[in-house]
Structure formats: structure tokens, C-alpha cells
């Protein structure tokens, strides 16, 4: 019985050692962004992309702009320009890091009052993934970071109006 108990203990100890030394796979869950709603005192609004943007960022920006940016005015125009998109992937110790940034400028004009207001800003976001991970998990991390960038854009614009 003592030999059997020793074998069980040795097996259990070996199993625990192997489990604790192995790397765990990173699990990257999809995050759904929540955007802030804001209203501008103009009649029309336009969204312009200057430069190259990934399809996901373009689609997400358009969805945010069309659903959360409201107009409520008798005159005037809003031109919202997104520019200087940058996405950089770098290798870090035991993983990868993604840095994403973009700039924006909002021009609000009212012709009858010869009034013009300019709002400028720059937002950035980053994420890291360490350990053992799949390409699908890294792609999901990139998508989550892009989502976070547009959420930050929404928050930054809201704080400036």
C-alpha cells in the first residue's frame, strides 16, 4: 500500500510540475465598443478619410459617425476629417505589441454668422500579447485595439465640444 501511495504521489507531483512549467495560451476575447453620443448645432455633416485606413477602422468610424454623431441646427456644416493613421506591430519579450494612432480635425462653419470653429485632436491605443498565441488571437487583438481607438476618439471629441 505504501508503494502504491508513493507512486501516486510521484505521479501527482510530476503532473503538477509539468502543468506549472508549460505556457498557457492567451485567450483574446472580442470586445464590442460602446460609443458616446453627441450633438452638433449644424444641419449637415461629412466624414472624410485622408490617407490609407484599414477596412475595419473605416467601417467602425462610419458606423460611429452615422449612429452617434447627431446634427440639430438650423444652418451650418460639419466636416470631420480623420488623418495620419498609423499602425505599428513590434516584437517584445515573449510576445508582440500593437500601437495604433490617428489624428482628427472637425471644422464647424455657419455662413450667416461667418462663424468657424475648429477642433483638433490625436488619439492612440496599444495592446500587448505575451506567451503562446495563435494568429487568430493576434488578429482579434488588433481588432480590439482598433475598436478601442475609435472609442477613445469618441471620448476625446466629446471632451472638446
Specify the higher pLDDT residue, 73 or 22: 73
Average pLDDT over residues 135-149: 92
Contact (CB, 8 A) for 86 and 101: yes
Tell me: pLDDT of 31 over 50. yes
How many angstroms separate the CA atoms of 5 and 74, rounded?
85
Tell me: pLDDT of 148 over 50. yes
Q: What is the pLDDT of residue 18?
A: 44
Specify the higher pLDDT residue, 27 or 79: 79
Q: List, for residues 33-83, the tens digit of each pLDDT value.
A: 778 889 998 999 999 999 999 999 999 999 999 999 999 888 899 999 999
Return the SS3 of 13: helix
Location of C-alpha cell 450633438: 39
Tell me: pLDDT of 124 over 90. yes
* CA dist 98 → 8, 101, 142 (Å): 46, 10, 7
CATH class of this structure's domain 38-160:
alpha beta
- The C-alpha cell at 98 is 500593437
Residue 56's closest CA among 140, 127, 134? Answer: 140
pLDDT-derived band of residue 27, with 50, 70 and 90 as boundaries?
Answer: low
Amino acid at each position: 500500500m505504501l508503494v502504491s501511495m508513493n507512486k501516486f504521489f510521484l505521479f501527482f507531483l510530476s503532473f503538477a510540475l509539468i502543468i506549472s512549467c508549460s505556457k498557457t495560451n492567451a485567450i483574446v476575447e472580442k470586445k464590442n465598443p460602446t460609443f458616446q453620443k453627441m450633438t452638433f448645432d449644424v444641419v449637415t455633416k461629412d466624414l472624410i478619410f485622408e490617407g490609407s485606413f484599414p477596412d475595419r477602422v473605416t467601417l467602425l468610424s462610419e458606423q460611429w459617425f452615422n449612429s452617434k454623431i447627431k446634427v440639430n441646427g438650423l444652418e451650418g456644416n460639419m466636416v470631420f476629417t480623420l488623418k495620419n493613421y498609423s499602425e505599428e506591430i513590434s516584437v517584445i519579450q515573449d510576445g508582440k505589441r500593437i500601437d495604433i494612432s490617428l489624428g482628427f480635425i472637425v471644422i464647424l462653419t455657419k455662413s450667416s454668422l461667418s462663424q468657424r470653429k475648429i477642433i483638433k485632436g490625436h488619439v492612440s491605443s496599444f495592446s500587448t500579447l505575451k506567451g503562446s498565441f495563435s494568429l487568430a488571437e493576434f488578429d482579434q487583438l488588433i481588432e480590439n485595439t482598433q475598436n478601442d481607438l475609435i472609442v477613445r476618439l469618441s471620448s476625446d471629441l466629446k471632451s472638446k465640444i
